[in-house]
Amino acid sequence: MKGFSLGLCIFFFCIFSFWGGTRVVKGIQFEQEISGYLKRAADANTIKLAAENLQTALTSIQKRRLTTGYTSILWRTPDEDIGFWHTNLSSALQELDSTKKDATQLEKTNVLMKLRETLLDDGQSLRVTMPDGISIYPQNKDYMFWGLGGFLPFCLFGIIALVLKIRDERW
């Protein structure tokens, strides 16, 4: 029984580890296609450069169909509203595109500052504003069940194997 429990513990640890690795890969892919370009748009020093990077991010967002819905699983909160996020990014691009070529440097700087405030969150460090869990949307529930389905049995069978080992050593 101890060997069986240990085997199941290892099996579920592998499932949980694969889940974690997949989450990392999805996060990297999301950064390569979307959030990296949003950060570059926020850091841009010219309207043209900001618009190009924001357009690249929005193209990827629309290609992935990240235009409506919520990333939350149990309850909906405003910070997980994908529709608002997408609309806000689209509006920012429209504002960049509507900036006149003969605008003063002060007007251009104000537009870029507003874009930066739209795209970045202030906190311990600056990070791109986006709904939590967006990198795995719309499979958020699937990932939750996958993670729990690997972690909880891993813990359960690990505890069982440990208890059986301790019991065997006592006798």
Q: Where are the domains of the chain?
A: 2-170
| Complete DSSP assignment for the chain | -HHHHHHHHHHHHHHHHHHHHHHHHHHHHHIIIIIHHHHHHHH-SSHHHHHHHHHHHHHHHHHTT-SSSB--SSS--GGGBHHHHHHHHHHHHHHHHHS-TT--HHHHHHHHHHHHHHHEE-SSS-EE---TTGGGTT-HHHHHHHHHHHHHHHHHHHHHHHHHHHHHHH-
Local mean pLDDT, 10-residue blocks, the chain (171 residues): 84 95 96 96 96 97 96 91 96 95 93 93 76 92 94 92 82 53
pLDDT of residue 100: 92
pLDDT of residue 168: 80
pLDDT of residue 142: 94
